[in-house]
Copies of this chain bind each other. A is one copy, B any other.
Amino acid sequence: METYVKLVEVSPRDGLQNEEKIISTDIKIEFINRLSATGLAVIETTSFVSPKWIPQLADHSEVYQHITKQQEISYPVVVFNKRGLIDALAVDVKEIAVFTTPSEKFCQRNANCSVAESLQRVAELTQIAKQHDIRVRAYISCVLGCPYEGNITPAAVASLAEKLMVLNCDEISLGDTIGVGTPGKTKTLLQTVINRIPVKTIAVHFHNTYGQALANIYVALENDIRVIDSSVAGLGGCPYAKGASGNVASEDVLYMLHGLGIKTGVDLEKLIKVGHFIADYLEQPNRSNVGLAYQIKE
């Protein structure tokens, strides 16, 4: 498996949006700048969403403008509607992330619209983005199960992925939003999706709620997936029970990738330090096994 894998670090957005603690804009900027120094190629920076919905990210424009951007790093931002995209364009964003899901109930509760309407939104956003030469990453949530609908079929995910490609999205990130996936189901899902869209356009986004994320990522690698979403210190990913895990920890993913002889360009030791920096600041346990085992701090 000697190859290159692109890690997409989602902690500044997916990790910080659920924090109860108020995080200063300065800390967010410092955090992203530290992540930028680790060798990561993609850092999802914030969400251009109304502060009515996610007050934690109300400073999105300020954060985006004041981080030290490096030429070779992409800093995508999440956008839900045209207003968000206009605000993102105003600060010269180069990549956006949009959302949809095959689950009608999840779509209603999370985006307040039907799946068809969410696709219309993606179509509108992607059209505008493409006019401005902006890259579009599309998340499909609940690909291995939904908290409201239960089972989600691989065919439904593959069909949605195909539609997103038709709408000109550049990359499709398959999200196991509630972490229920196991390697066999992951393999079936990926093979179904790979039959419909190019494997190079597929990313995976696993949550470690039931401890399955690394096994699922290994299956993704076996199936030629080369883009993996993760979050330093395992931040975010909506853990719904006290002490439970959310996003898979970037450090643990990186340890596995490097152990497999896969190149990432990321410095593990630096990343571990950033994980401790943010977990300490948030006064949260570090949810990376590698972070805890190394205990490298500055």
Which A residues contact B (CB, under 8 angstroms)?
Answer: 1, 179, 181-185, 208-212, 214-215, 217-219, 240-245, 249, 252, 255-256, 258-261, 285-286, 288-290, 292-295
Contacts and interface: CB of A to CB of B under 8 A. Distances in A.
B244 A210 contact: no
Contact of A210 (B185, B243, B252, B261): B252
Contacts of A245: 289, 292-293
B295 A208 contact: no
A214 B248 CA distance: 13
A295 B241 contact: yes
A114 to B, nearest CB: 29
A270 to B, nearest CB: 17
B255 A218 contact: no
Contacts of A185: 259
A241 B183 contact: no
Contact of A212 (B181, B182, B214): B214
Given A183-B256, A211-B256, A215-B215, 10 more contacts: A182-B255, A184-B261, A209-B289, A210-B293, A211-B249, A240-B293, A241-B294, A241-B295, A242-B295, A245-B293
